[in-house]
Amino acid sequence: MKKIGILGGTFDPIHNQHIEIAKAAYKKLKLDEVWILPTKLNPLKTNISATTEQRIAMIKLAIQDFSWLKLNQYELTTKEKVNYTIDTIKAFQKKYPDTEFSFIIGSDNLLSLNKWKDIHQLITLVKFIVINRPNFQPSISLMEKYHCQNLTLELPNNISSSKIRTGENIDLLNQDVINYINDNLVYYKERLKFHLTNERYQHCLNVGETAKKLAIKHHENPEKALIAGTYHDIAKQWPKEKLINYLKQYYPKGLSAPFNLYHGYAGALYLQHHLKYQDKEIISAIFNHTSGAVKMTKLELIVLLADKISPERNYSGVNELRKLAQKNLTLAFSKYLEILKVSLAARKLPLTEEFNSIYQTWHKKQVK
Ligand SMILES: [Fe+2]
Ligand SMILES: [Fe+2]
């Protein structure tokens, strides 16, 4: 008889602790396989935010190295709005008659087992395997009542999936899953909203979309433009102290630049060091989005211009700049520098040496 353990959950996203639980069950219970069983998204639970396709893709990446670990999509394919474990188990037993199933739950679930549909029948069909969750010591009487088996695996701490989604703690993700989240902008909403007000969040989305359109127009990579544009201002509203400390840690040279450039540097470094983005072009586009530079790649120009012509921008000359950006990125940037120069003069703000050399360089390109 084949022995299979089932680990259900939303897996939003799947993380290393899920894999550790599966491994422990596989080894200690001498199972043939462990099935990862993602549940349908509960429409009332708004904190679930990856799409079903994204959750499946992340699970596949996280389990790819383990032949005994399988993804089972049964509950995602049924017509019912909500799946009950008893129905799933009955369906499995019908389909796989020579298999003994066990069902892995956390000790925190033990208290609510009495609310599970047909629990008394369910415990005759499967063995419940209980994993100790920190601060949820399993009650011996409940363990006996539901014929549960304790899997002696002490989890070090409770993993907060919401902290993984906001990007506060992604150490427990497999690098392939991290790359997938990054490349597909999974959890961009949580990641941005953790740092930004609604208004700034909306600006970031607008810049991402504008950058993507410009990239298509100018034959640059639209996905990279979308990512860099979406995250370009992630550090814009950090407190001054935090910006300074971040630069001290990762880019002390940047501290000598004007303060308004700090957020671009910090945002780029945050993507690189905390969110673990590996694409240098995306990082440098964010790094240089505020002031530009003497030398700029096409992607850098696109993200910078998208920021200056984003739909909610409303300053004198912006419409002309919008039209120009569709036609010629060099001319558009040069035009932007002219607008900026006039505006700085009007506000009696000094022109830095850095600004002057950028201005001269791009002005020459315009004349050519
Ligand atoms: Fe910015
Ligand atoms: Fe911006």
Instruction: Report CA(289)–ligand 1 centroid distance (Å).
Output: 6
Which pLDDT value is given to residue 110?
87
| DSSP conformational letter for 236 | T
Q: How far is the CA of 142 from the centre of ligand 2 (A)?
A: 55
CB-based burial label for 289 (10 Å; 0-12, 13-18, 19+): buried
Q: What one-character-per-residue DSSP string does 241-275 give?
A: HHHHHHHHHH-GGGGGS-GGGHHHHHHHHHHHHTS
Considering every ligand atom, which ligand is closest to the CA of 287?
A: 1
Q: Where are the domains of the chain?
A: 2-178, 195-367
Q: Which ligand is nearest to the CA of 229?
A: 2
Provide the pLDDT for residue 45. 64
Residue 133 confidence (pLDDT): 79
- Residue 313 Cα to ligand 1 midpoint, Å, equals 13
Residue ranges of the chain with pLDDT lower than 50? Answer: none
pLDDT for 75 equals: 95
Model confidence over 64-123: pLDDT tens digits? 999 999 999 999 999 988 899 999 999 999 999 999 999 999 888 888 888 999 999 999
C-beta of residue 201 within 8 angstroms of C-beta of residue 193 = yes
Query: What ligand is nearest to the CA atom of residue 237?
Result: 1
Q: For residues 50 and 82, what is the distance between their CA atoms, to the nearest angstrom?
A: 18
- The residue among 237, 223, 240 whose CA lies nearest residue 285 is 223
How far is ligand 2, taken at its centre, from the CA of residue 61, in Å? 33
DSSP assigned state of 38: E
From ligand 1's centre to the CA of 290, what distance in Å? 5
**Do the beta carbons of residue 265 and residue 238 sit within 8 Å?**
no
Instruction: State in words which class domain 195-367 has.
Output: mainly alpha
Euclidean distance between CA atoms 321 and 326, whole angstroms: 9
Q: What span, in angstroms and rounded, lies between the C-alpha atoms of 133 and 117?
A: 23
CATH annotation of 2-178: 3.40.50.620
d(CA 16, CA 22): 10
| Domains 2-178 and 195-367 in one fold | no
Contact yes or no for 365/334 (Cβ under 8 A): yes
Q: Determine the distance separating the centroid of ligand 1 and the alpha carbon of 314, expressed in angstroms.
A: 16
Q: How far is the CA of 276 from the centre of ligand 1 (A)?
A: 20
What pLDDT shows up at residue 270? 98
DSSP E strands, 107-245 = 127-132, 149-154
| Cα 264 to averaged position of ligand 1 atoms, centre (Å) | 6
CA of 175 to the centre of ligand 1 (A): 28
Give every CB contact of residue 81 below 8 A, 6+ residues apart in sequence. 40
